[in-house]
Amino acid sequence: MTNITLKIKRQDKPGSSSYWQTFKVPHRPFANIISCLMEIQKSPTTGSGETVSPVIWDSNCLEEVCGSCTMLINGKVRQACTALVDNLESPITLEPMSKFPVVRDLQVDRERMFKNLKKVKAWIDIDGSHDIGEGPIMQDQDRAKRYVMSECMTCGCCLEACPQFTIDNSFLGASTFNQVRLFNLHPTGEMKKEERLDAVMGEGGITDCGNAQVCVEVCPKNIPLTESIADIGRQTTWQAIKNLFTK
């Protein structure tokens, strides 16, 4: 059996310096990056024969619906579960995302993304969970449009690729703008449309988007992020005009 060589960028804790280690794992058909990392757990020995602590990474569903296992694989941001070894050039390099603080090894802290969901009130303001009958009637094609956007799993690929989004600025980024569009498109969500638009009109908001359009290229769920950005751009322009007269 041949071996796969993995070069992995490691870091012991936030703020400490990073270092590289090389591992060799047996090649198996249809192996993905996660199964390679699992092999390292079973035998945490580097290529030079040194026994080390196993590499730390985030993962859960292993079928690209949970959003956990985002990392840089051969320099490209993506989910590690769908990264099949046979489709990757060897040696394979693994690095943590660079736009979020490293927790340890390949694990990063994406709390900022979840905080942004609060900022833009990415939810429907229902009256309560008691039984008050059916939801609003909706055309299936409108539903389908929302469905594509609602598949966003907060993985962070779009933000890692975005030149405007840095580790220490306040830019909200494509995934957040997409959520604003998702909820503004819902008949009930629309009632709080202005609050969401106001939240993306300040510093770090929609006007900071540099239009690089790389977000949409790296989205594992093929969400039309640039369409969402353009749409929120239009919605905020109208909102700004409206604010001129009403506020």
Is 50 one of the binding residues for other proteins (CB under 8 A)?
Answer: no
**Residue 37, both tokens:** 């990392």
CA angle 109, 113, 118 (to 5 degrees): 130
> Is residue 88 near other proteins by the rule CB under 8 A?
no
> First-to-last CA distance in the chain?
70
The strands making up 70-73's β-sheet, listed across from edge to edge, are 18-26, 3-11, 92-95, 70-73, 76-79
- Using CB under 8 A as the binding criterion, the count of chain residues that bind other proteins stands at 68
Task: Using CB under 8 A, pick the residue from 1, 48, 49, 63 that binds other proteins.
Answer: 63
- Single residue of 2, 17, 48, 139 touching other proteins by CB under 8 A: 139
Q: Is 133 in the site for other proteins (CB under 8 A)?
A: yes
Query: Is the CB of residue 170 less than 8 Å from the CB of residue 138?
Result: no
Q: How far apart are CA 134 and CA 156, in angstroms?
A: 34
Q: Nearer Cβ to other proteins, position 7 or 119?
A: 119
Q: Counting contacts by CB under 8 A, is residue 103 touching other proteins?
A: yes
Three-class SS of residue 183?
helix
Q: Which of 7, 101, 151, 227 binds other proteins (CB under 8 A)?
A: 151
Show contacts with other proteins in window 174-233 (CB under 8 A). 183, 186, 188-189
List, as one string, the DSSP characters of 189-246.
GGGGHHHHHHHTSSTTSGGG------HHHH-TT---HHHHHHHHHHHHHHHHHHHHHH
Comparison of 73 and 209: residue with beta carbon closer to other proteins: 73
Residue type, 195: E
Asked if 147 touches other proteins (CB under 8 A), the answer is yes
Does residue 42 touch other proteins according to CB under 8 A?
Answer: yes
CB of 244 to other proteins, least distance (A): 29
Query: In 3-state terms, what secondary structure has residue 77?
Result: strand
- Within 2-41, the residues that bind other proteins by CB under 8 A are 12-13, 28, 30-32, 34-35, 38, 41
- Residue 238 interacts with other proteins (CB under 8 A)? no
Residue placing its CB nearer to other proteins in the complex, 173 or 189? 189
Among 88, 91, 117, 230, binds other proteins (CB under 8 A): 117
- Going 200 to 202 to 208 to 211, the CA torsion angle's sign is positive
